[in-house]
Amino acid sequence: MLNLVLFGPPGAGKGTQSALLIDKYNLVHLSTGDIFRYNMKENTELGILAKSYIEKGALVPDEVTIAMLEAEVNSNSKAKGFIFDGFPRTHKQAEALDTFLASKGTAISAMLALEVEVEELVVRLLERGKSSGRADDQNPKIIKNRIQVYDNETAILKDYYSAQNKFVGVKGVGSITDITSSLCKEIDTLI
Ligand code: ADP
């Protein structure tokens, strides 16, 4: 199986690039942000809970997020592999993912990290907020909070995957096609 963590701060382009990569490599895209937003739209119990965190720019608690992610993987039992987008975001999530995948006889192949300067992230998120309807993209204070959460809790995962020799940094600035090519070049070394 090819299991990729597509990593990077909010606004780095994980969603855009995931959509372009899944067809080429025949992978299932699991975006925790998308799954939460779907549940929010449908007003499910999970959606109502997630909303209270997401609208502040905070992380949804690990237990809830991990259980949701595992259920999604289990419901795609025929998948040839996954792109994890927005997961893991904490050390606890990364450990849970390793244990869970090991129990299925598989593992993360690599973490591909999109690298983008913070000034560029804020510009991109505010721009996306104009059309996406995402409340968390429209308020500079919430954006700042999300980037801070990334710096405090999520960025350390680079060390986590480096320790396993699985960290790959990719420049996330330039044309979408060029960034896809850089990612493909790295992915092709894994298969
Ligand atoms: P972005 O990468 O642009 O911040 P996402 O769509 O990935 O946006 O996530 C939106 C929000 O959903 C996050 O700010 C967070 O509140 C919540 N969320 C997404 N993934 C996770 C996760 N793995 N753990 C906790 N909360 C998450």
pLDDT digits (tens, 9 = 90+) for 52-62: 999 999 999 99
Percent of the residues in the chain that have a pLDDT greater than 90, as a whole number: 100
Beta strand residue intervals within the chain, DSSP E: 2-7, 28-31, 81-85, 110-115, 167-171
Residue 56: CB partners within 8 Å, gap ≥ 6? 142, 145
Counting from 1 in the atom list of ligand 1, the atom nearest the Cα of 56 is 16
> What does each C-alpha distance from 44 to 39, 47, 48, 82 come to in angstroms?
5, 5, 6, 25
Active site residue: 51, 56, 92, 134, which one? 134
Structure tokens at 23: 């067809």
d(CA 166, CA 55) in angstroms, rounded, equals 32
**Pocket flag, ligand 1, residue 36 (CB < 6 Å):** yes
**Pocket flag, ligand 1, residue 86 (CB < 6 Å):** yes
**Pocket flag, ligand 1, residue 60 (CB < 6 Å):** yes
Residue having the nearest C-alpha atom to atom 5 of ligand 1: 33
**Pocket flag, ligand 1, residue 13 (CB < 6 Å):** no
| Rounded distance from Cα 128 to ligand 1 centre (Å) | 15
One digit per residue, pLDDT tens: the chain, 191 residues? Answer: 999 999 999 999 999 999 999 999 999 999 999 999 999 999 999 999 999 999 999 999 999 999 999 999 999 999 999 999 999 999 999 999 999 999 999 999 999 999 999 999 999 999 999 999 999 999 999 999 999 999 999 999 999 999 999 999 999 999 999 999 999 999 999 99
Catalytic-residue membership of 41: no
**Pocket flag, ligand 1, residue 89 (CB < 6 Å):** yes
Counting from 1 in the atom list of ligand 1, the atom nearest the Cα of 61 is 25
Please state whether 43 falls in left (phi above 0), alpha (psi between -120 and 50) or beta.
left
Active site residue: 146, 158, 166, 185, which one? 146
| Nearest Cα to Cα of residue 111 among 90, 134, 77, 88 | 88
Catalytic-residue membership of 128: yes
| Rounded distance from Cα 18 to ligand 1 centre (Å) | 15
